[in-house]
Amino acid sequence: MRLAAFLVTAALALAACTTTEPTLGPDGKPLPRVYRIAPSDNGKIQFRMLDSVNSLRRAAGLARIELDARLTAAAATHARDMAVQNRPWHFGSDGSSPIDRVQRVGYDGRLLGENISETYETELETLAAWMEDPTTRRIIVDPDAAKLGFAWHQEANGKIWWTLITGT
């Protein structure tokens, strides 16, 4: 009995000591790991994005913004539609523009901008990429922004289509 307990303990200790080497691509760099979004993560991801955007806005001396259900609905519709079209762009498969989409959901404020992304990265990595580009950064730190819509669609292969919309 003691021998069996010792062997199990030794096996567990050895297993804990092993390291998993990342899979390397042809260039010798580690391949990215797929970021899987569980249904239970939906609220966490939205609020993590909202908190991060508000931290960036605070650092720029700007007012906080809040999540808006209508803008989020427009963002979700567009994220799924980009996946169907298999291309990241601001026009829907029906020819709709961001303005059309926010009007369809009954948003009565003014649309300020829409950021989109096709990636395998997390929401915070995507936000960092948006902040590096002056055009997408302007949408996030627009002084007139008061509302935020944020949604995504993840395909079975792990690809994520992110959409962020700001409005007054």
Model pLDDT for residues 117-135, shown as the tens digit of each residue: 999 899 999 999 999 999 9
- Give the separation between CA 58 and CA 39, rounded to whole angstroms: 30
Pairing of strands 147-154, 111-119: unpaired
Q: What is the mean pLDDT of the chain?
A: 89
| Helix, strand, or coil (residue 112) | strand
Q: Where are the beta strands (DSSP E) in 53-167?
A: 66-67, 111-119, 147-154, 160-167
Residue 116 to residue 160: CA distance in whole angstroms = 10
| The pLDDT value given to residue 103 | 98
CB distance 57 to 142 below 8 Å: no
Indicate the range of 28-32, 65-69, 134-138, 155-159 predicted with least confidence. 28-32
Which residues have C-beta within 8 Å of that of residue 3, sequence separation ≥ 6?
Answer: none
**Token pair of 26, please?**
């042809």
pLDDT at position 18: 47
What are 163's strand-pairing partners? 116, 151
Rounded percentage of the chain residues whose pLDDT exceeds 70: 86
User: Is the model's pLDDT at 10 over the cut of 90?
Assistant: no
pLDDT at 82 over 70: yes
